[in-house]
Amino acid sequence: MNLQNALDFNKFMGKTHTKPTEGHKVVVSKSSSVPLYSSCLRVLLLSIIFINILSCTQTEPSRSEFALGTVCTITLFDQANPSVYRDVFNRIREIENLMSVNISSSDVYKINENAGIQPVQVHVDTFIVIERAIFFAESSNGAFDPTVGPLVNLWDITGEHPDRGIDKVPSQEKIDEVLPLVNWQDVVLNKEDYSVFLRRQGMALDLGGIAKGFAADEAAFIIEKAGITYAIIDLGGNVIVMGKKPDNTLWKVGLQNPTILDIPFIGIIRTPQNSLVTSGVNERFFIQDGLLYHHIFSPLNGYPVRNRLLSVTIITHNSMSADALSTAVFVLGYEEGMILLESFPGAEAIFVFEDWEIRKTPGIDFELIDESFRMN
């Protein structure tokens, strides 16, 4: 992205165009390289933040592998043993094999295949994540909805189905057709036999808004059990910082810039051991006719959510909760999102808005670095 494009984007971010029925549409300058840029940015961000720690105390280099549709990086400090990396990545792959919508032997694939036909018995891990997803669906009044699969497929934000042609924005007719299939209340869970049933044919689970959090928690569990004192887990932006740094200071984690300008991060969060998860418009999107369409959908109207937010970061002790809450709060928007957060003591949030305003809950130690943004 050249400077001219960046300036255009900068100018437009405050002046978005939208039609009342449509989801989040941010006017941006056209650039075919933007999605690639976005995925590179996160890796860069983390390498900046942790660089000085890496040089002095790490006994094993960090390991990155592609899993869960993203780059997963584990960094173990102090007594790190190569077998711990292996165990962590094995566990992440195990979770992917159970919960991916794309792997035909996965539990989620089988549940979707049998929608409206019959219940499917699943692994206890899958059951736990779906149960938790339903809990967050209920808590957020359906803003978080794990049955969003038909919308994810229809919008095809990541372009898995290029055969569908250049005009990617689906017609209103198609959206109206799939929207009734999105309803978490039509998920039937049976704890007796760990079975899951989607009541209507065409329904589909998608655990993209929660399962990375579960995987991060599981990775932390393995690392803790191995007796490793401090570590960083980064599963494509689902970050857990573990333990205390050797000098007893707090971890510093960069808050990613959710615009697509060449400025990697907005500021620094200082935190003790914690999970940090961000949901944002820049994670996955496509651009059509100068408009940006992202991957977080409103279960009410079937469009990418549009509510002035560019990103929501949740900081709390559990990555699965942080993951679901970041998506839920993003969908709800600032006011309703804050109300939801009141029922999760210990959860803190940072909101970045389209007009480059930042708001945060009082319990976060956040230092603004990029002065194009302003705190409120």
Cβ nearer to Mg ion, comparing 223 with 322? 322
Residue 34 tokens, joined: 């933007």
Nearest approach in angstroms of CB 176 to ligand FAD is: 17
Q: Does 102 bind ligand FAD (CB under 6 A)?
A: yes
Of 22 and 323, the one with the shorter C-beta distance to ligand FAD is 323
211: contact with ligand FAD by CB under 6 A: yes
Report the residue closest to ligand FAD, judged by CB. 69
Compute φ and ψ for 331, nearest 5 degrees.
Answer: -65, -40
Q: Per-residue string for binding with ligand FAD, 352-371, x by CB under 6 A?
A: --------------------
Instruction: Examine residue 234 and tell whether it contacts ligand FAD (CB under 6 A).
Output: no
Give the binding site for Mg ion (CB under 5 A): 209, 323, 326-327
Rounded-to-10 torsion of CA 361, 362, 365, 366:
50
What are 18-23's contacts with CB under 8 Å, separation 24+? 18/306, 21/172, 21/301, 21/303, 22/301, 22/303, 22/306, 23/293, 23/297, 23/298, 23/301, 23/302, 23/303, 23/304, 23/305, 23/306
The nearer residue to Mg ion, 274 or 326, going by C-beta atoms, is 326
Q: Restricting to residues 59-98, name those near ligand FAD by CB under 6 A.
A: 68-69, 96
Shortest spacing between CB 217 and ligand FAD, in angstroms: 13
Residues that bind ligand FAD (rule: CB under 6 A) add up to a total of: 30
Given a contact cutoff of 8 angstroms between Cβ atoms, the answer to whether 138 and 328 are in contact is no
CB of 59 to ligand FAD, least distance (A): 30
Contact letters for ligand FAD, residues 156-175 (x by CB under 6 A): --x-----------------
In the complex, residue closest to Mg ion by CB: 327
Specify the residue, 197 or 297, whose C-beta has the smaller distance to ligand FAD. 297
Query: Three-state SS for 39?
Result: helix
Which one of the spans 56-64, 218-226, 294-302, 333-341 is the region binding ligand FAD (CB under 6 A)?
A: 294-302
Q: Rounded to whole angstroms, how far apart are CA atoms 44 and 50?
A: 10
Structure tokens that stand for 40 in this block: 């590179």
Binding flag, residue 145, ligand FAD (CB under 6 A):
yes
Residue 311 is a binding residue for ligand FAD (CB under 6 A): no
Smallest separation (angstroms) from ligand FAD to the CB of 321: 12
Q: How far is the CB of 367 from ligand FAD (least distance, A)?
A: 24
Question: Which residues contact residue 160 at a Cβ distance below 8 angstroms, ignoring those fewer than 6 apart?
Answer: none
Contact, 77 vs 68, CB < 8 A? Answer: no
319 class by beta-carbon count within 10 Å (0-12 exposed, 13-18 middle, 19+ buried):
buried
- Nearest-Å Rg of the Cα atoms of the chain is 20
269 and 366 in contact (C-beta within 8 Å)?
yes
Q: Which residues pair with 316 in a beta bridge?
A: 275
Q: Which residues bind ligand FAD (CB under 6 A)?
A: 68-69, 96, 99-100, 102, 144-146, 148, 152, 158, 206-209, 211-212, 237, 279, 283-284, 295-297, 299, 323, 326-327, 331
